[in-house]
Amino acid sequence: MKIKKILVSQPKPSSEKSPYFDLQRKYGVEVVFRPFIKIEGLTSREFRQSKIPITNHTAVIFTARTAVDHYFRLCKELRFNVPDTMKYFCVSETIAHYLQKYIIYRKRKIFYSETGHAEALLPLLAKHNKETYLYPISDVHDQKLHIPEDGSIKFTKAVMYRTVSNVIGNDEPFDYDMIILFTPSGVKSLLQSFPHFEQGNIAIGAMGGKTIEELKNNGLRLDLTTTSKAPSIAAAMDNYIKEHLDDPDEPRIEQERFKDPEPEPVPEPAPEPVVEPVAKKPSAKKAPAKKPAAKKAPAKKPAAKKPAAKKTTTASKKATVATKAESTKKTTAAAKKTTAAAAKKTTTAAAKKTTTAAAKKTTATAKKTTTSAAKKATTTAAKKATTSAAKKTTTAAAKNKKTTKK
């Protein structure tokens, strides 16, 4: 039985490093990812019918990231503000870090199992026995966490989401050689999509004790599962494909895909007949082949003259090019000097003109200012002298009048 097409009942991995893609590249098989189940959350109205008050609980137990999503979704729909004092107990560290999507990690009290197993979480629950725990679960779930019901730990199971079959339509082709199942719900979904399903030569792989039990209860054959030699389902698939590739009636896929073309041995016989006649015929003609060697001597003279002429022409060309380059350099240097000298002359002449004009203007203004100042000084002095002489004459006239009266 040759495996060509495999159906994996899981969503497609986001990373290209998945072992399923390694199987594709290794054996040339086609792996199709088609989940048989899907998760639907309960509405707030459906959850109220369970009559479970979320406000009466002081801690929450999470065994899956799906439970985290639907817990905070229902709290938002029910308008319940999760208090800062709420405690969270998680099965693994990954789920504990996933809480950062909804809460601030540092400000909350979060506990998780260090081993990643649900059994290691029970001592933490027993240590905080004063808390009232809320345990969000699905309607169909595996008992990962067996909490004792003797009253030592107060807890309430709350169904917040359900598992629904993702039915395969009749229009979709079902031409698979292998089917991989992971949950009991996946087995039920397969039989629900195909009520008259007959396994025949189709290989079925399952993972988990309850999945295998559900498979056998429905009369289906288990062909591969995880073992100590194959701890993952991908390793079990690899071993199963290898075993069935060794059938003598069917070719190996690895040989078809990785067969080397071997181009080296193919050209070896072709040159052998070509080399043999060539070796036989020129064996007798080796003596006349020496004659053109004697004719090479006179042929050397024109050969020597031609390259000499060529050398001279090339040398003359190089010399002319060099002279032209030197002349251009000299002309450019002379042009630069002349332009620099002309620029200096023009700048000095312009500077002299500007300085003489400025000096003339300054002298004219100085003369004007001095003449105006001298005129002002003379007029003021004349005015003072006339006023003082007038005063003297008036005083002298007054004295004369007094003397005459006496």
Query: What pLDDT is recorded for position 257?
Result: 34
Quick one: pLDDT band at residue 205, thresholds 50, 70, 90? very high
**pLDDT range class, residue 241, cuts 50, 70, 90:** very high
235 has a pLDDT exceeding 90: yes
| d(C-alpha 406, C-alpha 403), whole Å | 5
- Where is pLDDT greater, at 371 or 301? 371
* Residue 215 exposure: Cα atoms within 13 Å on the Cβ side: 23
For residue 116, what pLDDT is reported? 80
**Rounded Cα gap, residues 141 and 183, in angstroms:** 10
Average pLDDT on 126-139 reads 92
Does the structure show a pLDDT above 90 at 219? yes
Task: Name the residue with higher pLDDT: 250 or 16.
Answer: 16
In the predicted structure, residue 340 carries a pLDDT above the cut 70: no
The dihedral built from the CA positions of residue 337, 341, 342 and 343, taken in this order, carries a sign that is: positive
pLDDT number for residue 381: 57
**What is the spatial distance between Cα 304 and Cα 307, in angstroms, rounded to a whole number?**
6
Greater confidence, 301 or 214?
A: 214
Domains of the chain (ranges, CATH numbers) = 5-36+167-255 (3.40.50.10090), 39-165 (3.40.50.10090)
Residue type at position 171:
D
Beta bridge partners of 374: none
Minimum mean pLDDT range among 168-177, 178-187, 337-346: 337-346
Compute the mean pLDDT over every residue in the chain, rounded to the nearest whole number: 76
pTM above 0.85, yes or no: no
- Tracing tokens 């429905």 back to the chain, one arrives at 218
Query: Looking at residues 140-152, what average pLDDT do you find?
Result: 78
Centre a 10 Å sphere on the Cβ of residue 74 and count the other Cβ atoms it contains: 22
**113 within 8 A of 92, measured Cβ to Cβ:** yes
